[in-house]
Structure 1
Amino acid sequence: MRLWSIHPKHLDPQGLVALWRESLLAQAVLRGETRGYRNHPQLDRFKNQAAPLAAISLYLNGIHAEAKARGYNFNKSKIQPARKIVSLTVTSGQMAYEWKHLLAKLKARNPALHQAWRNTEGPEPHPVFNVHPGDVEPWERQ
């Protein structure tokens, strides 16, 4: 499971579809609707929020917005409504780690997109995240 902190616009089509599916799975886990992945470290940042379900809903809305901008037809009714507005934080070290990880994936899977992004200083964060200085997040498996 990879719940990217970077903006979904940086993902290739396969990455965006995978993020949508994995985020829907994360929502199911947080709602207690599945037994698998309950202790996955990628979920920690959502579990540690005062309103975890609102956080994952807003996260999914950001993915849906990118999919819609690309002309994809992701089913928005699968997103549980957020009852609160929340903002999550992510470290600059985590953003750099994910950017490097994504560029390696794109180099193998989508060389044209890799070429387009490789000289970019760094990615934008997903709209639900605010970036602050720091190392790679403790929940990240390196």
Structure 2
Amino acid sequence: MRLWSLHPRYLDRQGLTGGWREALLAQAVLAGRTTGYRAHPQLVRFRAHPDPAAAVGSFLLVLAEEASARGYRFDRSRIDHPGAAVPRIRVTDGQVGYEWQHLLAKLAQRDPGRLATLSGITTPEVHPLFEVVSGPVEAWERPV
């Protein structure tokens, strides 16, 4: 499961659609509708949020907006709490840097054209749910 801290505009088709599916799974886990993935480390930051369900709903809504901008149709009716105003989740600049390098490596393999459009970006934007703070890679991250 990869719930990217990066803004979804950087993701390729596979990253965006995979992120949507994985965030829907995270939503199901947080709502207690599935027994799988309950201990997944990517869920730590959502569980720590004052309103985990609304936070994952906000996360999903931005993915759906990006998909619409690209001409894809993600079923927004699957979002349990769409558009709820929620406090932002802190993410470290070390985590953002780690995810950026991880994404660039994935794009080098599966979408070199998209990779080329991202050259020169040294400080990527993050998903609007997140707020960048100084720090190392997050403790919950499992390096690949």
Q: How much has 1:119 moved relative to structure 2?
A: 2.3
The C-alpha deviation readout for 1:35-86, integer Å capped at 9, x for no partner, is 0000000000001111111110111111111111111100000001255522
Give the corresponding residue for 1:109.
110
Mapping for residues 56-135 of structure 1, pairs under 5 Å: 56-81=56-81, 85-135=86-136
DSSP 3-state at the match of 2:9: helix
8 Å CA contact retained: 1:54, 1:86: no
Instruction: Give the alignment's Cα RMSD to 1 decimal.
Output: 1.0
The alignment of Structure 1 onto Structure 2 pairs a total of residues equal to: 142
Q: TM-score, normalised by structure 2?
A: 0.95
Name the CA distance, whole Å, in 2 between partners of 1:12 and 1:56: 21
Give the corresponding residue for 1:53.
53
Q: How much has 1:118 moved relative to structure 2?
A: 2.9
| Structure 1: tracts of 5 or more residues without a match | none
Query: Letter of the aligned partner of 1:42 in structure 2?
Result: Q
The C-alpha deviation readout for 1:78-126, integer Å capped at 9, x for no partner, is 0012555221110000000000000000000001111111321121100
The share of aligned pairs that are identical, in percent, is 51
Mapping for residues 9-28 of structure 1, pairs under 5 Å: 9-28=9-28
Name the CA distance, whole Å, in 2 between partners of 1:18 and 1:122: 23
